[in-house]
Amino acid sequence: MALDLVGSGVGEVVLISRGNSARETEVTHQKALDCVIVGIVDLVEQNGQVVFRKEEHSYAGK
In a domain, 52, yes or no: yes
Cα→Cα distances 36→16, 19, 22, 43, 56, Å: 6, 9, 6, 20, 25
Residue 43 lies inside a defined structural domain of this protein = yes
Report the distance separating Cα 23 and Cα 6, nearest Å: 15
CATH number of the domain bearing residue 37: 2.40.50.220
> 58 or 4, which is more confident?
4
Q: List pLDDT tens digits, range 24-42.
A: 888 898 889 999 999 999 9
Please check whether residue 16 lies inside any domain of the structure: yes
Q: CA-CA distance, 33 to 50, in Å (whole number)?
A: 34
23 belongs to a structural domain? yes
Instruction: Say if 9 falls within a structural domain.
Output: yes
Q: Structurally, how many domains does the chain consist of?
A: 1
- Can you give the residue range of the structural domain that contains 39? 3-57
Residue 62 lies in a domain: no
